[in-house]
Amino acid sequence: MFAIRQLLLLIATAMAAAVTCDCSQTLTSQLLQTVVSAQPNDNVIVSPISIETCLALAYLGAEGQTAAELATSLQLPQAGDKRAVAQKFGRLFEKTKSATGTATFRLANRIYIDERFQVSPQYNAYAVDQMHANAESVRFADAAATAANINSWVEAETDNKIRDLIPANGLDANTALVLVNALYFKAKWVNQFHNHTTTRRHFHESAARKVEVDMMKQTDDFLYGDFPELDATAVELAYLDTDVSMLVLLPKSVDGLADLEAKLKSVDLTKLSTAMRTEEVILHLPKFKFEFELELKPVLEQFGITSMFSDEADFSSLLAAQEKVAVSQAQHKAFIEVNESGTEAAAATYLKIVPLSASFQQQTYQFVADHPFVFAIKDNENVYFVGHVTHF
């Protein structure tokens, strides 16, 4: 039997044009709610697109119940038509070609396969030809050297923001295949903050605890919304040379984050902008930078993705040889930095396979993010990164 080990790392920010996957919205809201309910006091960031792309690569090699569970969880509109699914995810890569000016975006897949094996012609046609997941033959028996090779590729794709994705002892002679996804974005704000306006200000981590943080400030026109049904307000900051923006959702009460995130479970974050309008906003937003790590397996199991982690896993379309494979572990690691200039983000995922055993009068609004808030980096169709800030 083979086991697939998946590890996802990411750093956060924006992207470019507007092609993509209709599948992400339910997964995005459920992913955020599931993760934060388990770790409510941690700063969190995840990349729905990177996770979906990695799962799509697995789906292309899956059959039977395993394929059905992945298709349902990913809400694949062409479930069963693997070529169409591969093409749909493959169009994400066209965004890398549309990034211009100061915005940088890279999305890349890679297949590392042991010299003992080959991917099946069918999988090759979908994953390699359509999703640009080039296959490289390696010797997993040379574990440390192969891990260094994979890590070097990830570091190059993420501008050295994702390092040591795979530990030296993370591979061994039994490894058959590793699938890797890397995601990187860097962009400046359309309306940049000025360093001299950043001051030390209190951030209320809870009603009982506050700390001093570097709080950025500017007054300009932003998309702004007041959502009574969420008991929150929102502001959207655009990035330069891209149609991606950062949405910030701020609960009206200091301790309102959990209630807000529970309500967001049924909200499409990409559509909130249509209910917002351009207003003059006095914006206070803290600079923040943090890492996040997550065991993905229990999260995915809550989405109904279970068989691929069991003896019943069916990845019979993955390898040329008819070998039994299953997913044994899923990990996620992330990093984000937001400052006066803009945001930088990256993500990487790997799967390790081993033998199984209207008009308004102008007024100015205040938006002071001085207590826990949700953020999403998105365009009108996709959420690329989502998370929350709870403490410093």
- pTM here? 0.85
Q: Which amino acid is at 119?
A: V
For tokens 């799509």, name the residue: 56
Q: Which amino acid is at 242?
A: T
Claim to verify: residue 281 and residue 293 sit in the same structural domain? no
List the beta bridge partners of residue 89: none
What is the pLDDT at residue 11?
A: 29
Claim to verify: residue 109 and residue 119 sit in the same structural domain? yes
Cα separation, 30 vs 180, in Å, equals: 24
Band (pLDDT 50/70/90 cuts) for residue 99 is low
- Specify the number of domains making up the chain: 2
Claim to verify: residue 7 and residue 108 sit in the same structural domain? yes
Mean pLDDT, to the nearest integer, of 15-35? 55
Mean pLDDT, to the nearest integer, of 285-311? 88
Claim to verify: residue 80 and residue 111 sit in the same structural domain? yes
> Which segment, 38-42, 176-180, 240-244, 359-363, is predicted with the most confidence on average?
240-244
**215 phi and psi angles, rounded to 5 deg:** -105, 120
Mean pLDDT, to the nearest integer, of 330-353? 72
What is the pLDDT at residue 322?
A: 80
Mean pLDDT, to the nearest integer, of 69-97? 84
pLDDT of residue 6 exceeding 80: no
What is the pLDDT at residue 360?
A: 42
Q: Is 156 exposed, middle or buried (0-12, 13-18, 19+ CB in 10 A)?
A: middle
What is the pLDDT at residue 4?
A: 35
For tokens 């065991």, name the residue: 295
The tokens for 105 are 């975006």
What is the pLDDT at residue 293?
A: 79
Helix, coil or strand: residue 168:
coil
What is the pLDDT at residue 18?
A: 26
Mean pLDDT, to the nearest integer, of 17-42? 65
Express each pLDDT in 241-261 by its tens digit.
Answer: 888 899 999 999 999 999 999
Claim to verify: residue 254 and residue 221 sit in the same structural domain? yes
Band (pLDDT 50/70/90 cuts) for residue 14 is very low
State which residues form the domain around 162. 2-188+289-354
Claim to verify: residue 168 and residue 203 sit in the same structural domain? no
What is the pLDDT at residue 25?
A: 55
